[in-house]
Amino acid sequence: MPPTESKREKAREVVDILEEISILLNTQLDRTQLSLCVSLIENGVNPEALATAIKELRKDTQDLQHGSGMSQ
């Protein structure tokens, strides 16, 4: 059953609010990433585990970028 227009509008409002909070907290998550996080949490993913995974992925990415920058 497809979501009604009312549900879509409410979902947009939630993402708008989350985006504002994200900006205030400087999370560096865009609307798509925020939506994916909400979806994962709604489907049972532990929010703390998700936050830890995001931090580790960012650290790994940063390490790779710094490592590849040194070799050039």
Rounded Cα distance, 42 and 5, in Å: 20
Between 71 and 10, where is the model more confident? 10
Mean pLDDT of 11-35: 94
Please determine, for residue 70, whether its predicted confidence score (pLDDT) is greater than 70. no
How many independent structural domains does the chain possess?
1
Confidence grade of residue 4 (pLDDT, cut at 50, 70, 90):
confident
Length of the chain equals 72
Q: What is the structure's pLDDT at 3?
A: 66
Place of tokens 């560096």: 28
Q: Are 22 and 34 in contact (CB under 8 A)?
A: yes
Confidence grade of residue 11 (pLDDT, cut at 50, 70, 90):
confident
- Note the Cα 2 to chain centre separation in Å: 24
CB-count exposure of residue 15 (10 Å: 0-12, 13-18, 19+): middle
